[in-house]
Amino acid sequence: MSVVEISGVSKRFGATTALEGIELEIGEREFVSLIGPSGCGKSTLLRIIGDLIDPSGGKIVVNGKTARQARKDRDYGIIFQDPVLYDWRTVAKNVALPLEMARWPRQKRMARVQTMLELVELTGFENHRPWQLSGGMQQRVSIARALSFDPALLLMDEPFGALDEMTRERLNMELLRIWAASGSTVVFVTHSISEAVFLSTQVVVMSPRPGRISEVIPIDLKQPRTATTREEPRFFELVTQVREALHLGHDLERAAPATSQQAGA
């Protein structure tokens, strides 16, 4: 059963074509990374799935419904590169925000907040303020918040982009653990080839001008991924495969400018 079905989706901003002819299907419990250079439309695509941007054309089905209905039913949680935590709320209240909006009774809310903070290993920080936490910890709070209402789908827009490599690798492991435990489906936008390969079941390589999918690469590394996964030969092969797909898309774009570029700025 697919969680996300995208057919023929396109998006134009004025004269620029951000996305064209996107066809993608994401099945349950998959971890799909969108990777590509700037301007390939990956963040735009993510937001279209989340009904934060309207597509110019095409069809999207999320969880068996329209994207708008899925958003209204709170079927997904979203995480940005910026943790977007509110300074005037404690960590606990930040995590509770979507639950408050869904009108959960207080007891249930507090219990769930506790569970989520345990999941991201931040117990004891309930009454801290966001500015008292490091960037990595803030991002973990943001993950806790996104998962608090058990969404079927998790949308993540370069969530670890602002963190250092070691924190990043640690959070990658945590994310995989959480993904396995929660059973949700993840769409993950990233710049990092190794991160994409390490985390995903499929890597969607995109290229710009116009934004399109150039290749979908299945990742057949063993689950669950561990620290040693990065050292396996197969890992390097897949990283190379993704890299070559990226270069191909880039070279194609340089060799023959797409028609939309004539109308572009």
Partner 1 sequence: MSSTAPAAVQPVPRGGLGKLVGHRLIDWLPAVIVLVGIVGLWQGLIVWLDVQQFLLPKPTAIASAFWTDRQELLHAGWYTFQEALGGFALGSGTAIVVALVLARWRPLGAALMPYFIAANAIPIIAFAPITNQWFNGGLTKSSKVVIAAILCFFPVLVNTLRGLTSVRPQDLELMRSYAGGQTAIFRRVRIPNALPFMFTGLKVATVLAMIGAIVGEYFGGALNALGVLILARSRIFLFTQAWAGVFVACLFGLGLYLAVALVERVVLRWMPSTLE
User: Which residues would be at the binding site for partner 1 (CB under 8 A)?
Assistant: 47, 50-52, 71-74, 76-78, 80, 82-89, 97-98, 100-102, 129-131, 135, 138, 162
- Minimum Å gap between C-beta 202 and partner 1 is 23
- Minimum Å gap between C-beta 220 and partner 1 is 32
Eight-state DSSP code of residue 89: S
Among 251, 239, 248, smallest CA distance to 190 is for 239
Calpha distance 133→129 (Å, rounded) = 7
What lies within 8 Å, CB to CB, of 139 at 6+ separation is 79, 83, 159, 160, 163, 171
Q: For partner 1, give the closer residue by CB, 47 or 225.
A: 47
Total count of residues recorded for the chain: 265
Q: Answer for the pair 176, 120: CB distance below 8 angstroms, yes or no.
A: no
Q: Where are the beta strands (DSSP E) in 118-201?
A: 153-157, 185-190
Q: For partner 1, give the closer residue by CB, 101 or 227.
A: 101
Eight-state DSSP code of residue 231: G
Calpha distance 156→169 (Å, rounded) = 16
Q: For partner 1, give the closer residue by CB, 131 or 254.
A: 131
- Minimum Å gap between C-beta 148 and partner 1 is 11
Q: For partner 1, give the closer residue by CB, 98 or 208.
A: 98
Q: For partner 1, give the closer residue by CB, 190 or 194.
A: 190
- Minimum Å gap between C-beta 86 and partner 1 is 6
Calpha distance 156→159 (Å, rounded) = 6
The two three-digit tokens of residue 184, written as one number: 């949700």
Q: For partner 1, give the closer residue by CB, 101 or 263.
A: 101
- Minimum Å gap between C-beta 200 and partner 1 is 22
Q: Answer for the pair 34, 42: CB distance below 8 angstroms, yes or no.
A: yes
- Minimum Å gap between C-beta 178 and partner 1 is 18
